[in-house]
């Protein structure tokens, strides 16, 4: 086992955490900006809803399923040309954010759809009976009523992203998970591996608590 230089490790960890935050931050932002509208579209085009559209619903659902059923490592490689097209390079944390973001969007869209399904149909009907427009129903009924579920879904997405981002090392994305694999697994520095894994556990716990707290607050029950 190699001796560990702890000052170097701390520097490495800081860099790695920054990379993790960058990758997860970008993909989470994409999940919110694209995943929410996509999930909403999947919901309102579904059966018995006000935008019922079988073709759009099937198409959207199929796209989401393709992304979700492809193993991430394979997606990472398959998307290399696309990544290069979008960010100009296929190496580094920003490049890794492209496949991560795509996975996050698909993942979160499904969670958004199911959170919206949880909204009491009677409340939607009451709003319809009042004469509300579709936009008003989405904005003033569906989203506020589903907010707790949307936040829980976002928490699950964020935590999964931390896990997925470990594989971003393959395209030089870096990050904490990658650090753990490189030092702990390939160089047999068990102490480094344990430290990073513990830090990752703490990070996930913090995310989970933040998510639970905000979801509870949003549910007003």
Binding positions for another protein, rule: CB under 8 A: 120, 122-123, 125-133, 136, 140-141, 144-145, 147, 218-221
Supply the angle between the helices 80-87 and 93-117 in degrees, to the nearest 10: 100
Contact (Cβ atoms closer than 8 angstroms) between residue 187 and residue 119:
no
**Of 85, 67, 86, the residue nearest 76 (C-alpha):** 67
Q: Identify which of residues 68 and 139 has a Cβ nearer to another protein in the complex.
A: 139
We find the least distance from the C-beta atom of residue 127 to another protein, in angstroms, to be 8
We find the least distance from the C-beta atom of residue 8 to another protein, in angstroms, to be 50
Q: At 69, is the secondary structure helix, strand, or coil? A: helix
We find the least distance from the C-beta atom of residue 37 to another protein, in angstroms, to be 21
Spatial separation of the C-alpha atoms in residues 188 and 190, rounded to whole Å = 6
Spatial separation of the C-alpha atoms in residues 98 and 60, rounded to whole Å = 19
We find the least distance from the C-beta atom of residue 65 to another protein, in angstroms, to be 25
Q: Identify which of residues 21 and 143 has a Cβ nearer to another protein in the complex.
A: 143
Q: Identify which of residues 50 and 188 has a Cβ nearer to another protein in the complex.
A: 50
We find the least distance from the C-beta atom of residue 12 to another protein, in angstroms, to be 45
We find the least distance from the C-beta atom of residue 41 to another protein, in angstroms, to be 21
Q: Identify which of residues 11 and 118 has a Cβ nearer to another protein in the complex.
A: 118
| Greatest CA separation for the chain | 71
**Of 34, 35, 26, 29, the residue nearest 83 (C-alpha):** 26
Q: Identify which of residues 60 and 153 has a Cβ nearer to another protein in the complex.
A: 153
Q: Identify which of residues 87 and 147 has a Cβ nearer to another protein in the complex.
A: 147
Structure tokens at 92: 């580094």
- Report CA torsion sign: 98, 100, 106, 109: negative
């Amino acid at each position: 086992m190699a001796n560990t230089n702890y000052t170097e490790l701390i520097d490495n960890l800081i860099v790695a955490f920054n990379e993790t935050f960058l990758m997860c931050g970008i993909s989470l932002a994409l999940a919110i900006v694209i995943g929410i509208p996509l999930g909403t579209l999947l919901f309102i085009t579904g059966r018995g809803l006000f935008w019922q559209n079988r073709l759009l619903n099937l198409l959207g659902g199929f796209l989401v399923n393709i992304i979700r059923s492809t193993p991430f490592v394979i997606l990472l490689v398959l998307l290399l040309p696309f990544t290069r097209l979008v960010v100009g390079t296929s190496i580094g944390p920003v490049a890794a954010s492209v496949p991560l973001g795509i996975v996050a969007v698909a993942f979160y869209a499904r969670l958004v759809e199911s959170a919206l399904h949880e909204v009491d149909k009677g409340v939607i009907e009451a709003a319809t009976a009042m004469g509300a427009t579709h936009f008003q129903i989405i904005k003033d009924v569906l989203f506020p009523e589903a907010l707790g579920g949307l936040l829980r879904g976002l928490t699950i997405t964020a935590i999964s992203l931390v896990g997925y981002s470990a594989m971003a090392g393959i395209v030089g994305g870096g990050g904490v998970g990658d650090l753990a694999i490189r030092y702990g697994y390939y160089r047999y520095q068990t102490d480094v591996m344990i430290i990073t894994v513990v830090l990752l556990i703490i990070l996930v716990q913090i995310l989970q608590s933040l998510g639970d707290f905000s979801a509870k607050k949003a549910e007003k029950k």
